[in-house]
Structure 1
């Protein structure tokens, strides 16, 4: 589970001679002792905040809020996904989500969204002083509420991390509003998707009317195995999702220069094109998935049947 940053509150802070007035003053400061306000009566040291990533910052806001709401609240939806390490399509600039008893419901604000669908004891987990919904419950909550792209990304991530499809299916409450949407998402979910971009791409392909591709198809060339992101066997088309991270982040570079990575990728594609049945390879970047018009042109030029241009397409704002 993702750890929050250490949170300072007025009560515990008094033990180290730091009263509420001092905390607020430090939050207005730009000096070395500056604090960042992460919730009501909740602050984080500025240096820690600056070095944290988007997910950890958001998780810190979740803990700050749940500590304020009370023990009856359970982090859920996007907030549970962040704590549990599940992916997100739209990033972490979202309100905190919590599920509470109906007696505690007071509507939503810009920073806090409350839900009231009851959470059973077996649907929640302890997490460093707060409680979060389990992975299956979290996936189903998001599937019943969010758009298809975001929901498939989370469901794929859960399967990829080891949650079973049967566990996800068992978490669907057929009495709940939105259960049919959840079942649709789980029907599309596939743990073979190797990344958030691949999960998102699958939904874009579905929206554009493409045939359902084979995921992580392996080809053997000269005794070496090569796995591709998407394989359309009837058309002989390979589609791969490559981001700039492959050429900039050390975990992908593995000691190679960006030029060496580029050349290795070029040689890999040359080998794949020697496989009988592989006619062409389409390389996509993350940004390409937000331009359905250009995708349709490229897919049709490669021989992929792309019969529709959906009215509801993958635009940046929709994610």
Structure 2
């Protein structure tokens, strides 16, 4: 029997929306899974690209859903952006903030001076999501960026999930300033490395595990930071997007939801599975169910096996051989 997944990793870095909750609804099993990680003595960090809320607010929301959380366990993209600024600027430097008061507070906490208007002594612009951002805010930032100051974006998420659906996110506002300035920001949040690196460093982890539902942010960010990732199917990722994922967007482990974090590493790892045989033939992968002592492998084992084969052989054209394989691929939406 393979070792426990938690025995391989000295911290768990959890994405929030799509992994722990969906807005105001907790994902079943998530509170219990977080509690099990804690009982195993493994530190937990809640890692979010949301730069509009302070860690206290994020922790309060988690607790309201039954997930034990303290503000010190929350890592936000606004914290990561402030850290990037502090590394590159002198103490006391003035930073033009486009975003919420929570972002301004993170900038100030690291010895910098947040301002809202362009001036000759502004050394940088930091941009995070705020529903109250106006054209006037973008105009001040545009002037500063065109003057050549450092520009740091908390994240470049094009959309923001809400109860009403996907709405414009910070990336949409960043795109407006890109168009107006022909400049590119330094990105602190996912999918870049600083946010995950800071979260791991905060708990002195050297082999942290990232758990997330988005390949283009969570898994890409883990890859950029040199960390292993567990992709869950409780949010954005689907069997199809996993099968066709490009290098850099491929997780090491795969599960239905966060509860699997307490499972066995070998059972969650993407790779060949005993219940399935995948045979490459030209640009085709032929899929066959194998009957062994434990019977036919389950659908997620099949997905782990076909992802492994597709990534190695550079093709995702699947041909089922037999009713069992056809039915399992149908369940995954891969036929």
Q: What is the TM-score when the length of structure 1 is the normalising length?
A: 0.30
**RCO higher in structure (CA 8 A, sep ≥6):** 2
Q: Considering fraction of residues, name the structure with more helix.
A: 1
Higher strand share: 2
Q: Please, what TM-score do these two structures have when normalized by structure 2?
A: 0.29
